[in-house]
Structure formats: C-alpha cells, structure tokens
Amino acid sequence: MAGPDYQANQEKNDLLQILAAQGVEFLLSGQEKVSPIICAGKMICLFFSANWCRPCRTFTPLLVQLYNTLQKRDEKLEIIFISLDHDKNEFEQYLQTMPWLAAPYDTELQKQLCDKYHVDRIPSFVPLCGDGISKQDDLIGFIEDYGAEAFPFTRKRRQELKAMDRAKRVEGRLEDLLGNRGLNYVISRHGGKFISLQTPISQLVGKTIGLYFGAYWSPPSRSFTAKLSKVYKEIMDKTEDHSLEVILVSTDRNLVEFKLNVADMPWLAIPYEDESQQELYRIFDVKTIPTLVLIGADGKPASENGRGLVCLYGAEAFPFTEERIEELEAAVKKEGEELASKVEDIKHEHVLKLELAKAYVCDFCKRQGRFWAFSCDACDYDLHPSCVHLISNV
C-alpha cells in the first residue's frame, strides 16, 4: 500500500500536470513571476478563496498570521492561492493581502482544480499530503482553533492537539489550564478605578472556580452578570474561607469594552491581552455567551451548565458538586410529591394542574416563582403552591 509520502508526491505531480495542461508556466509571488519549481521539497497547500466572499476575507488574516509564523520557524510550507473571484481586478486586489504564491487568474483552471479537489465551498484549504485533514473534517475550523500549531495539518496532528486539550480539561491542573501562555496570574479591579491587581493562579488552587465566558457587547451577558454578581456575593458572605472564585474569560472587542465589563464585576479576569482566553473557548467548546463552566476544588470540571444551575438554584447550588445538585433535585421532587396534582381556584374558571416550571410569575401575588406551579392548560395562569391556600381563604 502506498504511504503518505508517496500520496503527497502524487498529489503534487497531479497539480503540476493540471497547471501544464492549462499552459501555466509560472506562479505569482506579489508582482513577480516564479517557476513552480520553487515549491520543490515543500508541503503545498491550496487556498481556494475569493475577494467577494466575506468568510474568506475574515479567514485570510488568520492564515496570513499562520503563514508568517511558520516561515519564521523555517517550516517547509508553501500556500498557493486559487482564485474564485469574478474578474481579474478583484483577484489582483485580493492578492495584495497575501504573502504566499498564487496561480494566475484563469476561470478554466479554477474549474479543473475545484473538480479535482472536490471544492464546493469557500474558503477551502487543501493540503497536498497523504494524511491531510479533508474539507469534510473542517480544516478551516481546525486552523481557526489552533493557528500555526495545526501544522502540518494532518489527522495525527489534530489527534495530538485534541488530546492535549482533553488533558488540560480533565486532569485537574489549574496552572496548566490558565497559565499555559506564560502569564501565571489573573487580574481584578481596585475600587472604582481600573487599576489591575494581579492574583497568582497558584492562590486559586483548591477553590471552586467559575470560568465566566462573556462580553460587554452582549446584552444576555450583561443580564447574567447582574444575576451572577448577586449569587456570588451571597456565596462569599456565607463561606468564611471564600472558597469560590469566578474568572472572566472575555470576548470583548477592545480594551475599552473590557474595562467597562470588568467594572461591573466583583471577581477576577484573565488579562485582555492573554491569548489563553481563545484557548479556553476551544478547550471547553464554548459556542455561545454567556456560559459559566464550573471547576471543582479538585481542579476537575464539575459542570459546563453553570449558568443554568445559577439561574435555577442560585446560591443554594454551591459548591456545585454532583452530590449537591442531586440533593437539590431530590428536595424539589419531594416537594412536588407532597402537593396535590390538581387544585381549584375560586378566582379562575378552570382546574389547575401541578407542573414543574423553571420560572414563572404568580398571578395572585405577582412575584416570581420557580420549580412547582399550579397552571391552567387553557389560559396563561399560574399560581405559587403557597398561594392556593391564600386564595381559598379570600
């Protein structure tokens, strides 16, 4: 069976044959024409993209950063841009943003290469190597997640990086999780002014940690910040050793937003310039904000649904262990078993049934309720269980 090196050489030969068949005798390097021989001995990757494509324009700067980093490391890599622009002017304008090579603008060449490498969407990044990650395996997303560390873009490399992330997530070493970029501290504001105070990560070991993924530009994040602040203060007031710490993992768009965000928070934050923030989003697969990931006192993940636990149980959920959540769930279940399955309200025409509800507003006392409610199937009408007795005595 042919090995990866043989397959890689075959892919390169196929590319050269396609170029020759189209009469392409040179590649473009900026304004210069260079021979395809310049790619000899290098790993070749084809970048299918276009100036009119917004995702392409978003991805290109990330690829430029990756390419420049690998060039400084003297990695044997060459990228060839295959344009799917609508005309030559768009192609030339887009090419100015790229430090790598490009095939001359040729619509027939575009079609042949897209057919050869099964490109049906852009941006697409195709490494010509035997063990390369396929388009179906989302190589673009892999590069977005790992940057230059994704090189040489093989399945083996992806497995290695995924294993490293998994180890950071589950092995319980807070210093490795938060301090892997050389910064061994988090920060907090001082008083009403943004004067960052450094707290060594080593001082957080042995505490329950909440990694709060959020941003000032996100209204749901600002709303949850207010809720979490209240719960955080309740927990800190009732625990003498202050065994909880929350750490902001920001996606704020600039330092000004970051400072505004931190100003509303009584807890810690990863420094704005610390690249480990992006890594934490990847390690815990955070796709939406706000998200609260809880790490137990042993350094191991306790829950990735901290937001739900805080909204449902408030400070009572602390220390957010599996045992504590089971206790709360059992208490809620017992409360429901002690209530009637149906009741009648003299102020409402329908029978009310007992239902489990995360949150509602009682139509009698007008206060918010949670867990159990007596609700009407036909109307938007809910009662606190404690208000049923009150109504029966009206």
Tell me what pLDDT residue 4 has. 47
228 and 235 in contact (C-beta within 8 Å)?
no
Report the CATH number at residue 201: 3.40.30.10
What's the whole-number mean pLDDT along residues 87-106? Answer: 95
Q: Are residues 266 and 310 in the same domain?
A: yes
Using only the alpha carbons of the chain, give its radius of gyration: 29
Q: Are residues 136 and 211 in the same domain?
A: no
Whether residue 74 is contained in a domain is answered as yes
What is the average pLDDT value for the chain, to the nearest integer?
Answer: 87
The structural domain count of the chain equals: 3
Domain that holds residue 285: 186-329
Of all residues in the chain, the percent with pLDDT exceeding 90 is 53
What's the whole-number mean pLDDT along residues 317-339? Answer: 92
pTM of the predicted model, to two decimals?
A: 0.79
Distance CA 56, CA 324 (A): 47
Whether residue 391 is contained in a domain is answered as no
Tell me what pLDDT residue 6 has. 39
Whether residue 40 is contained in a domain is answered as yes
Among candidate residues 105, 135, 153, the one where a domain is terminated: 153
Q: Are residues 22 and 92 in the same domain?
A: yes
Tell me what pLDDT residue 185 has. 87
Enumerate long-range contacts of 141-145, CB under 8 Å, 24 or more apart. 143/59, 143/62, 143/63, 143/66, 144/59, 144/62, 145/282
Q: Are residues 62 and 191 in the same domain?
A: no
Is pLDDT of 214 > 90? yes
Tell me what pLDDT residue 37 has. 85
261 and 287 in contact (C-beta within 8 Å)?
no
Tell me what pLDDT residue 227 has. 94
Is pLDDT of 135 > 80? no
The strand pair at 342-344 and 301-303 is best described as unpaired
